Structure 1
Amino acid sequence: MRALSLLVTRRPWLVLLLWGLLALLSAYPASLAPRSLSANPGELKDSESARVTALLREKFRETDTNTVLLVTRLDPPLGTAEARADYNRFVSGLEAVPGVSRVLRAGSQGAVPTVSVDGRFALTAAQIPLKEGATETLERVRAYAQQAQGPGLKVRVTGGQAIADDFTAFAEGDTKRSEFSALPLTALVLLGVFGALVATGLPLLIGVLSITVAMAGLYGLSHLTEVSTFAQSVITMLGLGAGIDYALLMVNRFREELVRDGDARAAAGRTVLTAGRSVLFSGLTVAIAMAALILPPLAFVRSMGLGGVLVVLLTVVASVTALPALLALLGERVNGPRLLRLTWSQNAGASAAWTAFARRVTARPWLAVILSTAFLLLLALPARDMKTGYAGAWGLTTGVESRDALADVRDLGAGGLLSQFEVILDLGGRRYGPAERVRFQKVVADLRAMSGVRTVVSPFLTPADLGGTSGSGGTDALAALGLLTQRSFSVDRSLLRVTVVPDRYLRADQIDPFETRLRRALGGSGFRFLLGGAPVGEREFSRAITGALPTAVLTVFGGTFLLLLLAFRSLLVPLKSIVMNALTVGAAYGVVTLVVQKGFLAGPLGIPGDVGVLDSSLPLLLFAVLFGLSMDYEIFLLSRVQEEVLRGHPNDEAVVLAVGRTARIITSAAVIMFIVFCAFVVGRVVANKSIGLGLAVAVALDATLVRLVLVPAFLKLAGRWNWWLPGWLDRLLPQLRVEH
């Protein structure tokens, strides 16, 4: 750190020139990054659903499995000649849209309803490419649907591709809006903290700088692997939150050091050696926590982890290089022009009010520990009922086209078209013959008899299933006689395929019960089978993430313990930090479960009441971000306690003095974090809203109840054991010191 402090204070212009060049080079790719992101939840290699998809492509020549559903509202109803002519013109134009390979018309009968009872709603299905060109084709379909609308014909578009593309678009829009809404409010808080315009602008500059460079890195990563659209939200949250936190700490310490002798470069150097060390350790804890997202074998989730680690490391580097270089050049000008004078916040010294508060807390430590812990556990209770999965269109707020159109599909009774299960039956190397036909018919009959099944697409459909002479939309049309052989038998006729369509769209928490019954029915068929389709893929994806959570938690706990052991040379302090951070995370889980899943206060927060599940990546993502950010405040407080102990103060007095000196900066930083996270609650993507809600609640609890009540009370109770370390271990560990 000493070599770094000398570099940034002796060569500040060089440091700033390098950062300026990096920012200029990053600006253009950073602007391209949002368009390269994906809301596709991803696919596990070698999973059962992936093998089914591969077999459909290779053995059944199935290429166009990406279905766009178009819900048309007709006035007058479809039964009239005028409406029929309008609808036929609409379908003819849809068939001419480039990229659309087949259009399946709505009909009046069939196992899957595609026309409402009153004839005012009709469902049309269009097949588009599975991957390459899917988004572009969907855009053309949507443009055509908009153009085709008239007084008697209204069209809304949904389907897997439409839902994914809406997720991407609205996640990008939510992130931009959150940035623009959070920055002015954050600037007001910083102005209250510093009172000076220059000092206020520096933390914002560091946050924007780290976000820009990190987004450019995300754009580069998108050329190597699929990158989650939520990675952009992670980068913005951490870049603004942590970047402003660290800069707040650095600028505050610089102003304190500048008072000593007025030498700007010397003050900047001492700032790097003191606050810079705290920033370095805080950043490393956040990076360790975000690295937990790299553990699941899913590119979609790993991209969020890589984005988080990248932005945190960039924020740390910018905070200990670019910021002190600016401070060295600014000197006393960092305090001007002074716009506000608020002594309660703009004082680098100890706060008499917070010091008195700390004395009251430590006077009754058992009461503080018991009541604080009980309150956090009470908030965490709803998390016992947490259900996770891929929310699909229900993960968007009402008013988004793909969600509203899916509600129309559901009302038609055709929601199962987006929850189809693909079944591959293996004949064991034999070719399909009369004996297999009997067994095949029995399997199909067993599947059709299952509760919750709307229809089974197979070669044995009845005339009623085919939906009349005019054809019908969705699965009815897929069952047309000319396509049945092609879709039901592999090219070598050694594999059979059936498609099971549920009677409704299956929400994530409804997939497992249905799949269990389906596997039970197939288990008695005598065929070896594979089960795939969107519901199976979603369930496999969710289990892969939740299955990685225990390993991620243990990894983060281990890494954090070692880092804090090195920083504070104590066994109890790291254990205490891990337990208390876990309490904060648990409380955030409970609140998010209560609001998003159970619907408590969901309406005022703009969260739909029918989501029913939390996004499968949310528990891991919340844990990683929360655990890392909570350590910021932990290190800010503990490093000051340790500093006071090393100066010779008794443990109890050191705790009181540390709270008095850090509470102001911790609460100011928490207010800024709270604003940044709350900005994400105002959006259209429920997962983003959930993340913002969980982080805002956790920061509010962590910076008040935990850091200023629970931690001081525990440190008082532990006494000299706070800093106990076995002699043999003390001799093995390198000598480090964290202070600010």
Structure 2
Amino acid sequence: MRALSLLVTRRPWLVLLLWALLAALSAYPASLAPRHLSANPGELQHAESTRVTALLRERFGEKDTNTALLVTRSVPPLTTPQGRAAYDRFVAGLEGVPGVTRVLRAGAQGAVPTVSPDGAMALTVAQIPLREGATQALARVRAYAAAAESPALNVRVTGGQAIADDFTAFAEGDTKRSEFAALPLTALVLLGVFGALVATGLPLLVGVLSITVAMAGLSSLTHFTEVSTFAQSVITMLGLGAGIDYALLMVNRFREELTRGGDARAAAARTVLTAGRSVLFSGLTVAIAMAALILPPIAFVRSMGLGGVLVVLLTVLASVTALPALLALLGERVNSPRRLRLSWSQSGAASGAWTAFARRVTARPWLAVVLSTLFLLGLALPARDMRTGYAGAWGLTPGVESRDALADVRDLGAGGLLSQFEVILDLGGQRYGPADRARFGQVVADLRALPGVQTVISPFLTPADLAGEAASGGTDALGAVSLLTRRSFSADREWLRVTVIPDRYLRADQIEPFEARLRETLSASGFRFLLGGAPIGEREFSHAITDALPAAVLTVFAATFLLLMVAFRSLLVPLKSILMNTLTVGAAYGVVTLVVQEGFLAGPLGIPGDVGVLDSSLPLLLFAVLFGLSMDYEIFLLSRVQEEVLRGHPNDEAVVLAVGRTARIITSAALIMFIVFCAFIAGRVVANKSIGLGLAVAVALDATLVRLVLVPAFLKLAGRWNWWLPGWLDRLLPRVRVEH
């Protein structure tokens, strides 16, 4: 650190020139990143649903299994000649849209109702490409639907691709809106903290700089793998939050060093050696926590982890290089021009009010520890009933077209079209023969009889199937049989296919019970089988993430423990830090579960009451971000406690003095974080709103109840054991010193 401090303070113009060049080179790629991000969760390489998709493509010739659902409202209704003629013209035009490979007219789904009883509402299905060109094909479908709008015909589009594309578009919009909303409010808080415009601008500069370069890195990553649209939100949250946190700490220490005499460059160098070390260790803990997102074998989730690690490391780098270089050049001008004459905002001196507060807390440490712990555990209780999964369209707020149109599909009774299960029966290398017909027919009959099944698409037609094919435009029974035979038998007739359509759109927590009934029936059939389709893919994706959570948690715990043990030469301090951060994360889980899943106070926060589940990536993402950010405040406080102990103060007095020195910085940084996170609650994507809510709650609790009540009280109770380390271990560990 000493070499770095000398470099950035003796060659400040060189350091700033390099950062300016990097920012200029990053600006254009960063602007391109959002358009390449995706809300498609992807697929697991060796999962059962992935094998089913591959078999449908390779053995059954299914190329375009992606669908767009178009809900039309007709005036006059389809039951009239005029209404039917207008609808037929609409379908004829839809069939000519580039990228649309097949159109199923209203009524073509047989037992699935696609026309309302009064004929006013109808459902049309358009098949589009599954991967390459899917977004472009959907955009053309939406453009055609918009052009076909008239007083007599209203069209809304939904479906899996429409929902994914809306997620991407609104997540990007939410992020931009959050940045614009958070930055002015953040500037006001910083102005109140520093009382000077120059000092106010520096933390904002660090945040914007790190976000720009990190977004450029994310843009490069999109060329190699699918990148989550939520990676942009992670980068913005951490870049603004952590960047401003670290800059706040550095600027405050620099102002403190200026009051002790010496020139600006010496003060900046001492700032790097003290606050810079704290920033470095704090950033490493956040990066370690974000790296937990790289563990699940899902590119979509890994991209969020890579984005988080990238922006944190860049934020640390900017904080210990670009910022002290600026400070070395600014000197006393960092306090200019003074706009607020608040005594506490004009220097880095200790706060008398917070020092007195710390004395009151440490005077009754048991009371503080017990009451704080019980309160946090109480907030965490709802998390016991947490349900996770893919919320689909219900993960968007009302007013988004794909969500509102899906509600219409549900009202028609056709919601099951988006929850189709694909069953592949394996004949074990033998061609389908007369002896298999009875067994195959019995499987289909058993599946039809299951509760919650609306229809089964197979070669064994029912009167409803025939009526549906006839309604699709004059197809006769023979044509229907031919079509169903082609889709139900592989080209080599060694694989059989059945499509099961539920009687409603299945929410994430409803998939497994339905799947269990299917598997029980299929297991009794005597066929070897594979089960796929969108619900199975969603369930497998969700489980892959949640199954990675224990390993991620243990990895972060172990790495954080080792890092803090080296930094603070203690066994108890890192253990205490992990336990208290876990309490904060648990409380955030509980609040998010209560609001988003159970609907408590969901309305005032603009969260739909029918989401029912938390996004499957939310527990892991919240844990990684919260655990890392909580360590920020932990290291800010503990490093100052250790510094006071090393100066010769007794443990109890060191705790009080440390709180007096850091409380104002911690609470100011937390307020800024709170503003940044709350800005995301105002968005249209429920997952973003959930992340913002969880982080805002956690930061508010962590920077007040945990850091300023629970931690000081615990440090008082532990006394000299806070800094105990076995002699043999002390000799083995590398020696570092963390101060600020």
CA distance in 2, matches of 1:595, 1:115: 36
**Residues 596-636 of structure 1 deviation map (CA, whole Å, 9 limit, x = unaligned):** 00000000000000000000000000000000000000000
CA distance in 1, matches of 2:396, 2:478: 29
Structure 1 vs Structure 2: percent identity of aligned residues?
86
In structure 2, the partner of 1:687 is: 687
In structure 2, the partner of 1:567 is: 567
| C-alpha contact (below 8 Å) 1:680/1:688 kept by paired residues | yes
In structure 2, the partner of 1:374 is: 374
In structure 2, the partner of 1:20 is: 20
Measured at CA, do residues 469 and 691 of structure 1 come closer, stay the same or move farther in structure 2, by a change above 3 Å? closer
What secondary structure, in the 3-state scheme, does the structure 2 residue paired with 1:344 have? Answer: helix
**Residues 125-173 of structure 1 deviation map (CA, whole Å, 9 limit, x = unaligned):** 0000111111001001000000001011000000000000000000000
What secondary structure, in the 3-state scheme, does the structure 1 residue paired with 2:493 have? Answer: coil
Give, in angstroms, the shift of residue 440 of structure 1.
0.2
CA distance in 2, matches of 1:720, 1:651: 7
**Residues 383-426 of structure 1 deviation map (CA, whole Å, 9 limit, x = unaligned):** 00000000000000000000000000000000000000000000
In structure 2, the partner of 1:145 is: 145
In structure 1, the partner of 2:85 is: 85
> In structure 1, what residue type is equivalent to 2:240?
L
CA distance in 2, matches of 1:80, 1:59: 43
Farther-moved stretch of structure 1 (478-487 vs 304-313):
478-487
**Residues 250-304 of structure 1 deviation map (CA, whole Å, 9 limit, x = unaligned):** 0111111112225111111010000000000000000000000000000000000
In structure 1, the partner of 2:650 is: 650
> In structure 1, what residue type is equivalent to 2:536?
V
CA distance in 2, matches of 1:261, 1:357: 30
> In structure 2, what residue type is equivalent to 1:691?
I
Give, in angstroms, the shift of residue 41 of structure 1.
1.1
Give, in angstroms, the shift of residue 13 of structure 1.
0.7
> In structure 1, what residue type is equivalent to 2:81?
A
What secondary structure, in the 3-state scheme, does the structure 1 residue paired with 2:699 have? Answer: helix
Give, in angstroms, the shift of residue 470 of structure 1.
4.4
| C-alpha contact (below 8 Å) 1:109/1:464 kept by paired residues | no
Measured at CA, do residues 321 and 109 of structure 1 come closer, stay the same or move farther in structure 2, by a change above 3 Å? closer
What secondary structure, in the 3-state scheme, does the structure 2 residue paired with 1:261 have? Answer: coil
Over 4 Å off, 4+ runs: 476-479
In structure 1, the partner of 2:729 is: 729
| C-alpha contact (below 8 Å) 2:49/2:531 kept by paired residues | yes
| C-alpha contact (below 8 Å) 2:386/2:593 kept by paired residues | yes
CA distance in 2, matches of 1:568, 1:26: 37
CA distance in 2, matches of 1:230, 1:343: 41
CA distance in 2, matches of 1:59, 1:734: 60
| C-alpha contact (below 8 Å) 2:677/2:692 kept by paired residues | yes
CA distance in 2, matches of 1:144, 1:344: 62
TM-score (norm 1): 0.99
CA distance in 1, matches of 2:352, 2:589: 35
CA distance in 2, matches of 1:179, 1:142: 29
| C-alpha contact (below 8 Å) 2:37/2:168 kept by paired residues | yes
Kindly indicate whether residue 218 of structure 2 is the aligned counterpart of residue 245 of structure 1. Answer: no
CA distance in 2, matches of 1:720, 1:68: 67
In structure 1, the partner of 2:509 is: 509
| C-alpha contact (below 8 Å) 1:68/1:128 kept by paired residues | yes
Kindly indicate whether residue 641 of structure 2 is the aligned counterpart of residue 641 of structure 1. Answer: yes
In structure 2, the partner of 1:596 is: 596
CA distance in 2, matches of 1:66, 1:28: 33
> In structure 1, what residue type is equivalent to 2:535?
P
Give, in angstroms, the shift of residue 472 of structure 1.
4.1
CA distance in 1, matches of 2:262, 2:208: 29
> In structure 1, what residue type is equivalent to 2:266?
A
Q: Count residues in correspondence.
A: 739
Pairs within 5 Å for 1:304-703: 304-468=304-468, 470-472=470-472, 480-703=480-703
What secondary structure, in the 3-state scheme, does the structure 1 residue paired with 2:344 have? Answer: coil
| C-alpha contact (below 8 Å) 2:109/2:469 kept by paired residues | no
Pairs within 5 Å for 1:50-129: 50-107=50-107, 110-129=110-129
What secondary structure, in the 3-state scheme, does the structure 2 residue paired with 1:200 have? Answer: helix
CA distance in 1, matches of 2:626, 2:287: 12
User: Gaps spanning 5+ residues in structure 1: where?
Assistant: none
| C-alpha contact (below 8 Å) 2:255/2:347 kept by paired residues | no
In structure 2, the partner of 1:133 is: 133
What secondary structure, in the 3-state scheme, does the structure 2 residue paired with 1:467 have? Answer: helix
CA distance in 2, matches of 1:617, 1:98: 35
CA distance in 1, matches of 2:302, 2:203: 28
CA distance in 1, matches of 2:732, 2:467: 78
CA distance in 1, matches of 2:524, 2:267: 78
> In structure 1, what residue type is equivalent to 2:134?
A
Measured at CA, do residues 527 and 109 of structure 1 come closer, stay the same or move farther in structure 2, by a change above 3 Å? closer
CA distance in 2, matches of 1:140, 1:451: 38
Give, in angstroms, the shift of residue 481 of structure 1.
3.2
Instruction: Kindly report the root-mean-square deviation, in angstroms, between the aligned alpha carbons of the 2 structures.
Output: 1.4
In structure 1, the partner of 2:42 is: 42
CA distance in 2, matches of 1:546, 1:469: 42
| C-alpha contact (below 8 Å) 1:192/1:346 kept by paired residues | no
**Residues 176-201 of structure 1 deviation map (CA, whole Å, 9 limit, x = unaligned):** 00000000000000000011111100
Give, in angstroms, the shift of residue 346 of structure 1.
3.5
What secondary structure, in the 3-state scheme, does the structure 2 residue paired with 1:162 have? Answer: helix
Measured at CA, do residues 170 and 479 of structure 1 come closer, stay the same or move farther in structure 2, by a change above 3 Å? farther
What secondary structure, in the 3-state scheme, does the structure 2 residue paired with 1:43 have? Answer: coil
Give, in angstroms, the shift of residue 108 of structure 1.
8.5
CA distance in 2, matches of 1:594, 1:466: 47
CA distance in 1, matches of 2:469, 2:298: 46
What secondary structure, in the 3-state scheme, does the structure 2 residue paired with 1:735 have? Answer: coil
> In structure 1, what residue type is equivalent to 2:581?
N
| C-alpha contact (below 8 Å) 1:633/1:666 kept by paired residues | yes
Give, in angstroms, the shift of residue 120 of structure 1.
0.7
User: Gaps spanning 5+ residues in structure 2: where?
Assistant: none
| C-alpha contact (below 8 Å) 1:430/1:494 kept by paired residues | yes
CA distance in 2, matches of 1:169, 1:91: 27
**Residues 488-519 of structure 1 deviation map (CA, whole Å, 9 limit, x = unaligned):** 00010000000000000000000000000000
CA distance in 2, matches of 1:562, 1:467: 69
In structure 1, the partner of 2:220 is: 220
CA distance in 1, matches of 2:723, 2:54: 58
What secondary structure, in the 3-state scheme, does the structure 2 residue paired with 1:110 have? Answer: coil
CA distance in 1, matches of 2:653, 2:572: 19
| C-alpha contact (below 8 Å) 2:108/2:469 kept by paired residues | no
CA distance in 1, matches of 2:595, 2:558: 32
> In structure 2, what residue type is equivalent to 1:80?
T
CA distance in 1, matches of 2:550, 2:627: 14
CA distance in 2, matches of 1:553, 1:29: 33
**Residues 430-471 of structure 1 deviation map (CA, whole Å, 9 limit, x = unaligned):** 101110011000000000000000000000021322335643
Give, in angstroms, the shift of residue 92 of structure 1.
0.7
In structure 2, the partner of 1:181 is: 181
TM-score (norm 2): 0.99
CA distance in 2, matches of 1:471, 1:41: 36
| C-alpha contact (below 8 Å) 1:110/1:472 kept by paired residues | no
What secondary structure, in the 3-state scheme, does the structure 2 residue paired with 1:118 have? Answer: coil
Measured at CA, do residues 469 and 386 of structure 1 come closer, stay the same or move farther in structure 2, by a change above 3 Å? closer
CA distance in 1, matches of 2:182, 2:45: 39
What secondary structure, in the 3-state scheme, does the structure 1 residue paired with 2:127 have? Answer: strand
CA distance in 2, matches of 1:469, 1:538: 30
> In structure 2, what residue type is equivalent to 1:527?
F
Measured at CA, do residues 108 and 290 of structure 1 come closer, stay the same or move farther in structure 2, by a change above 3 Å? closer
Measured at CA, do residues 650 and 78 of structure 1 come closer, stay the same or move farther in structure 2, by a change above 3 Å? same
